[in-house]
């Protein structure tokens, strides 16, 4: 069963039937911390407040199923400039795309071959 779990007060955790597990955080002290609103602001004003909102999130794949490595590397290349995790300062529309792709991924490699 696909599940979604709220964690902390600023994130969600997805566990998909295909084996992928993905954590998403938007908050103060994360890589997405008000990234889109902080240019030129004094450091004390850079940190997000819930009421300010942000259009970016931080994503971390906590589990990559066997056979999913190539798919995952493609996501890193497309959405994170090929850098390792976390996917940081990810625009919300890219987040929707990643979550949908991770949920729909199917392992086409047969076990034992």
Predicted TM-score (pTM) of the model is: 0.75
Spans of all domains in the chain: 3-104
Higher pLDDT, residue 103 or 47? 103
Mean pLDDT rounded to a whole number for the chain: 79
Distance of CA 14 to the CA centre of its chain: 10
The predicted-structure confidence for 17-72, as pLDDT tens digits, reads as follows 999 999 988 766 565 554 455 444 444 544 545 455 667 888 999 999 999 999 99
Check residue 19 and report its DSSP letter.
Answer: S
Q: 26-62 in b/e burial notation, b at 16+ Cβ within 10 A?
A: bbeebbbbbbeeeeeeeeeeeebeeeeebbbbbbbbe
Strands (E), the chain: 3-7, 11-15, 21-25, 56-63, 87-91
């Amino acid at each position: 069963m696909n599940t979604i779990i709220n964690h902390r007060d600023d994130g969600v955790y997805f566990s998909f039937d295909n084996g992928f597990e993905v954590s998403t955080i938007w908050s103060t002290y994360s890589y997405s911390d008000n990234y889109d609103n902080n240019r030129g602001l004094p450091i004390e004003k850079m940190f997000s407040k819930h009421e300010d909102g942000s259009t970016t999130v931080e994503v971390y794949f906590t589990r990559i199923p066997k056979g999913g490595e190539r798919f995952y590397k493609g996501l890193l290349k497309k959405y994170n400039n090929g850098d390792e995790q976390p996917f940081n300062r990810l625009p919300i529309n890219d987040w929707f795309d990643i979550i949908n792709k991770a949920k729909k991924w199917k392992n086409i490699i047969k076990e034992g071959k």
